[in-house]
């Protein structure tokens, strides 16, 4: 049986930490769906289609395996997408105890809703301080985001 995992997130924009986790997931599962989801709790910087395109470009540039599909979802529960595509696992990157506290309730609710388990992966510690919200803030104030994001994202943020 082919094991499909979904890596969901806002990816606004995708960071080097995200790419690290996506690459690790691709090594563990037969297929990985990177799913861009609108998070109503966060003010968006990039349109969803642009986020998808930047993730695709970043995956190509990083030379990640070809078992990764990038798409978006706006039609309801995350677990509905999982059920539709036959995915049994969600993958989340964990940088700190703060992430554990944020992710744990969602993981339990998603398991209760549809039996979808969540696997937490640890990114390379060099990315432990990187977040999309920090990147958005630095970019908005004219700072250099290139240490934190793939090259295509840094270029896009400089010249949208
Ligand atoms: O990158 P983010 O913003 O931390 O990602 C959060 C996200 C999009 C994964 C989360 O908001 C989510 O799972 N949204 C889907 C809505 C849903 O299914 N909610 C109920 C179960 S938690």
pTM: 0.97
Separation of CA 43 from chain center: 17
Catalytic site residue from 72, 95, 111, 146: 95
pLDDT of residue 42: 84
Give me the sign of the Cα torsion angle 64, 57, 34, 71. Answer: negative
Choice from 10, 17, 74, 100 to test ligand 1 binding pocket (greatest atom count within 8 A of CB): 10
For the chain, counts of helices (H) and of strands (E): 6, 5
Hey, where are the domains in the chain?
4-158
Closest approach atom of ligand 1 to CA 10? 1
- Specify whether the CB–CB gap between 17 and 123 falls below 8 A: yes
The residue behind tokens 């993958």 is 91
Ligand 1 mean position, distance from CA 40 (Å): 9
d(CA 110, CA 94): 17
Q: Classify domain 4-158 at the CATH class level.
A: alpha beta
Token pair for residue 6?
């979904």
Token pair for residue 26?
């691709």
What pLDDT tens digit does each residue of the chain (160 aa) get? Answer: 899 999 999 999 999 999 999 999 999 999 999 999 998 888 899 999 999 999 999 999 999 999 999 999 998 999 999 999 999 999 999 999 999 999 999 999 999 999 999 999 999 999 999 999 999 999 999 999 999 999 999 999 998 8
Ligand 1 mean position, distance from CA 67 (Å): 23
């Amino acid at each position: 049986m082919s094991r499909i995992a979904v890596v969901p997130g806002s990816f606004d924009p995708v960071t080097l930490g995200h790419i690290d986790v996506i690459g690790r997931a691709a090594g563990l599962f037969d297929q990985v769906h990177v799913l861009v989801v609108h998070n109503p709790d966060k003010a968006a910087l990039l349109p969803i289609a642009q986020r998808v395109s930047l993730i695709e470009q970043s995956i190509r540039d990083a030379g990640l395996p070809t078992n990764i599909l990038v798409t978006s979802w706006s039609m309801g529960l995350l677990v509905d997408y999982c059920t539709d595509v036959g995915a049994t696992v969600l993958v989340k990157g964990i940088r700190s105890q703060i992430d554990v506290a944020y992710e744990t309730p969602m993981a339990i609710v998603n398991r209760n809703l549809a039996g979808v388990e969540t696997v937490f992966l640890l990114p390379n510690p060099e990315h432990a301080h990187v977040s999309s919200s920090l990147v958005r803030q630095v970019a908005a104030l004219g700072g250099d985001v290139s240490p934190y994001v793939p090259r295509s994202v840094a270029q896009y943020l400089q010249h949208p």
